[in-house]
């Protein structure tokens, strides 16, 4: 069934935990809700979704995700932080610094409102003169619209690829092409969509974007670039009529099949972490040291990026290590510490390891901590900053020593409980 969010009434603090009506009629608790309001989601809709979420209703997608993706700049910031390629972007301000725009983005330049959808609120300024005219018009009209400025990806003029991701899997894709020579390729604006088989690199990029943005269902728009691909936008409620015509896929049926298959299924068992996996987490991946190195080529920047991560991770580890042993077992202490350090790899569950593998895991973390403690000094940072970062890094060896009072690896809480019952 299709519901209008503005016909709901909800009561907070009522006599019943479930206080929701629709058109003044009591409404039972739904099994799941697919939110299709997308960029048009207002505060009322978000409040309603949060109400459902707090009462255990499965939401596809959730309110926090919808709110983040509705903001194009926030979306791009999240993707860029994860090391995924995006067009170079500047947040618009009044008055506009034309010299800055020309220096950082060049011309032509794309101007977008932060909350536009289906190609609306997007225009291209071909040269500096056009951009100055637009800036003057907006300033004289005292326009208050939030907008961003983006580098024009010339290789993707009039075409892009919409990749539909459902449940972490690419189910369909289409290449959208403009028929009028416009730089916009949206099907809703007269473009045509043709079936497209995305290369593995493009499919992986779309899946990573969906994962980073926590989108169960999404349409990821990808631009062609001289160096590969760039993510243009992500959509929490993608239109799929054009995609269905191009691919022949019954998109609603595909989505429903995935929901039914995962509705009552237990959470997937996390992959067991091995020393080789941890080595990849440290030296590769979008949040590993290699990714940080790619983004921070100067030693000082690299040391700073590592220091920030190690600060948060070490505080987390210390808190877990000092907790009472009956509340937090040794393995979950280690797991939470690693999850804090290696953002984006939270599915790694160290409780699946045997004692010897846990020992090797802790040795890997210990080696990383010692190396990270030395790094600030190599980077020639200030003495106080270097000492502080080193102290934070060496919290990991402390965690290693505190794992269990009688050895490196101790029994888990579940094992202790079983022995008590015996």
Q: What are phi and psi of 143, to 5 degrees?
A: -65, 140
Q: What is the largest CA-CA distance in the chain?
A: 82
Q: CA-CA distance, 381 to 278, in Å (whole number)?
A: 28
For residue 328, what pLDDT is reported?
A: 36
Across 126-255, the runs of DSSP E, i.e. the strands, are 147-151, 159-166, 169-177, 192-195, 217-225, 228-235
> By the 8 A CB rule, do 229 and 244 touch?
no
Q: Phi/psi class of residue 91: alpha, beta or left (left: φ > 0; alpha: ψ in -120 to 50)? A: beta
For the domain spanning 88-152, the CATH number is 3.30.1490.20
Q: CA-CA distance, 308 to 341, in Å (whole number)?
A: 10
For residue 384, what pLDDT is reported?
A: 58
With b for 16 or more beta-carbon neighbours within 10 A and e for fewer, the 237-271 pattern comes to: bbbbebbbebbebebeebbeebbeebeeeeeeeee
For residue 207, what pLDDT is reported?
A: 95
- 222 strand-pairing partners: 161, 231
Cis-peptide, bond into residue 108, ω within 30° of zero = yes
For residue 124, what pLDDT is reported?
A: 87
The two tokens of residue 47 are 């409040």
- 220 strand-pairing partners: 163, 234
Taking only the tens of pLDDT, the chain with its 422 residues reads 888 888 988 877 655 556 788 888 888 888 899 998 876 788 999 999 998 888 888 999 899 899 889 888 999 999 999 999 999 999 887 778 889 989 999 999 999 887 766 556 788 888 998 888 888 877 776 666 678 999 999 888 888 999 999 999 999 999 988 876 666 766 555 577 899 999 999 999 999 999 999 999 999 999 999 888 999 999 999 988 888 998 899 999 999 999 998 887 554 443 333 333 344 444 444 444 444 444 445 555 555 555 555 555 555 545 544 544 433 333 444 444 444 444 443 344 444 445 555 555 555 566 666 665 565 555 555 555 656 666 666 665 565 555 544 443 344 333 433 444 44
Q: Nearest 5 degrees, angle CA 319-CA 212-CA 284?
A: 75
The two tokens of residue 284 are 């590769």
Question: Domain residue spans in the chain?
Answer: 5-69, 88-152, 156-263, 275-421
End-to-end CA distance of the chain: 52
Helix, strand, coil content of the chain in percent (nearest 5)? 50, 15, 35
DSSP state of 349: B
Strands 192-195 and 169-177: antiparallel
With b for 16 or more beta-carbon neighbours within 10 A and e for fewer, the 397-415 pattern comes to: bebbebbeeeeebbbebee
- Contacts of residue 368, defined as CB under 8 A and 6 or more positions apart, other chains included, come to 282, 396
Q: CA-CA distance, 186 to 183, in Å (whole number)?
A: 10
CA-to-CA dists, residue 409 to 59, 333, 391, angstroms: 39, 11, 24
For residue 270, what pLDDT is reported?
A: 39
With b for 16 or more beta-carbon neighbours within 10 A and e for fewer, the 57-80 pattern comes to: bbbbbbbebbbbbbbbbebbebbe
- Contacts of residue 119, defined as CB under 8 A and 6 or more positions apart, other chains included, come to 184, 186, 188, 189
- Contacts of residue 140, defined as CB under 8 A and 6 or more positions apart, other chains included, come to none
CATH topology of domain 156-263: D-amino Acid Aminotransferase; Chain A, domain 1 (3.30.470)
For residue 382, what pLDDT is reported?
A: 57
For residue 139, what pLDDT is reported?
A: 73
């Amino acid at each position: 069934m299709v519901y209008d969010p503005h016909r709901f009434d909800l009561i907070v603090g009522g006599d019943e935990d479930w206080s929701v009506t629709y058109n003044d009629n009591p409404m039972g608790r739904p099994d799941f809700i697919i939110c299709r309001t997308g960029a048009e989601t207002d505060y009322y809709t978000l409040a309603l979704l949060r109400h459902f979420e707090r009462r255990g209703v499965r939401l596809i997608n959730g309110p926090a995700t919808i709110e983040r993706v509705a903001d194009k700049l926030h979306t791009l910031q999240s993707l860029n932080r994860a090391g995924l390629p995006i067009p170079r972007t500047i947040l618009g301000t009044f008055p506009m610094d034309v010299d800055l725009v020309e220096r950082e983005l060049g011309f032509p330049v794309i101007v977008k409102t932060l909350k536009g959808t289906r190609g609306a609120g997007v225009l291209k300024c071909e040269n500096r003169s056009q951009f100055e005219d637009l800036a003057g018009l907006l300033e004289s009209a005292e326009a208050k619209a939030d907008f961003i400025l983006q580098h024009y990806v010339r290789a993707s003029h009039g075409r892009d690829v919409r990749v539909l991701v459902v449940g972490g899997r690419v189910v369909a894709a289409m290449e959208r092409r403009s028929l009028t020579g416009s730089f916009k390729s949206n099907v809703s604006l007269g473009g045509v969509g043709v079936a497209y088989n995305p290369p593995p690199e493009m499919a992986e990029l779309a899946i990573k974007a969906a994962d980073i943005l926590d989108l169960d269902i999404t349409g990821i728009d990808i631009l062609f670039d001289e160096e590969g691909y760039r993510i243009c936008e992500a959509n929490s409620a993608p239109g799929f009529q054009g995609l269905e015509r191009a691919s022949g896929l019954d998109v609603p049926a595909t989505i429903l099949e995935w929901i039914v298959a995962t509705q009552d299924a237990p959470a997937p068992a996390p992959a067991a972490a091995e020393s080789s996996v941890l080595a990849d987490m440290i030296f590769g991946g979008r949040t590993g040291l290699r990714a940080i190195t790619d983004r921070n080529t100067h030693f000082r920047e690299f040391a700073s990026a590592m220091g920030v991560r190690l600060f948060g991770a070490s505080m987390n580890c210390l808190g877990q290590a000092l907790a009472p042993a009956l509340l937090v077992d040794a393995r979950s202490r280690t797991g939470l510490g690693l999850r804090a350090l290696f953002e984006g790899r939270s599915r790694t569950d160290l409780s699946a390891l045997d004692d010897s593998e846990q020992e090797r895991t802790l040795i890997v973390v210990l080696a990383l901590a010692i190396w990270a403690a030395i790094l600030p000094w190599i980077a020639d940072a200030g003495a106080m900053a270097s000492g502080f970062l080193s102290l934070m890094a060496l919290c990991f060896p402390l965690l290693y020593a505190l794992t269990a009072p009688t050895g490196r690896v101790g029994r888990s809480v579940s094992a202790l409980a079983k022995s008590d019952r015996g």
